[in-house]
A and B are shown apart, each in its own frame.
Chain A
């Protein structure tokens, strides 16, 4: 595997379910990110991890819980989501943190019923 991978690619869940999104980067990068892309809206930065430490939480509701066990893996744990949370969730990584090009995974298309 190369680049940034995300699993699952599609997820349908009920509002009472608990699920997790997984991201893995094979680029040796030190920073990883979660973004949300809703229809007709720009990509919204959710969380930033730099050297496994969370450095940014962009006012994201607590029903989204990130986890970064090492610099190659990033998870987004989901619980009691709302239908408006349905969106494309993109993971990205970069070598450093400032003025860096990001490498994106293909995304997880999430539908909350």
Chain B
């Protein structure tokens, strides 16, 4: 059974606006979460992470929020840029991945 879920397969956002990508998990034992970004014909690359002792982690335009009680995390990209167009994967405890959300940023 899938323990990490990304329920939105795709998302389109205008350049300069905020992109919000969501991820839900079912296993309360998960305590470390990562976001990866994947361009076509390339492997996923690490973007940002958060441990369960925090509820927010920020790195430049990227912020990850963690809501442990809801077993939910989200990735915010502000402002969105066309180069952010990629597939974004949420992962928990290093090995449990979601199916990905394809983000398109429209110039």
User: Are A and B genuine complex partners?
Assistant: yes
On A, residues with C-beta under 8 Å from B are 4, 40-43, 45, 90, 92, 94, 98-107
The total number of A-B Cβ pairs within 8 Å is 42
What's the Cα separation between A105 and B41 when bound, in Å? Answer: 10
A99 and B43 contacting across the interface, CB-CB below 8 Å: no
Residues of A within 8 A of B100 (CB): 42
> Can you give 30 contacting A-B residue pairs, CB < 8 Å?
A4-B43, A40-B99, A41-B99, A42-B2, A42-B4, A42-B96, A42-B97, A42-B99, A42-B100, A43-B89, A43-B97, A45-B95, A90-B43, A92-B43, A94-B94, A98-B94, A99-B32, A100-B94, A101-B49, A102-B46, A102-B94, A103-B43, A103-B45, A103-B46, A104-B36, A104-B44, A104-B45, A105-B43, A106-B41, A106-B43
B4 and A104 contacting across the interface, CB-CB below 8 Å: no
- Give the interface SS of chain A, mostly helix, strand, loop or mixed: loop
What's the Cα separation between A9 and B34 when bound, in Å? Answer: 26
Q: Which residue of A is nearest B2, CB measured?
A: A42
What's the Cα separation between A40 and B4 when bound, in Å? Answer: 13
**Inter-chain pairs besides A42-B99, A98-B94, 10 sampled, C-beta below 8 Å:** A42-B96, A42-B97, A90-B44, A100-B94, A103-B46, A104-B36, A104-B43, A104-B44, A104-B45, A106-B42
Which B12-65 residues sit within 8 Å CB-CB of chain A?
A: 32, 34, 36, 41-46, 49, 51
Residues of B within 8 A of A107 (CB): 43
Q: How far is the CB of B95 from chain A (nearest CB, A)?
A: 5
Residues of A within 8 A of B91 (CB): 43
Which B85-107 residues sit within 8 Å CB-CB of chain A?
A: 89, 91, 94-100
Q: How far is the CB of B39 from chain A (nearest CB, A)?
A: 10
What's the Cα separation between A98 and B31 when bound, in Å? Answer: 12
Q: How far is the CB of B79 from chain A (nearest CB, A)?
A: 25
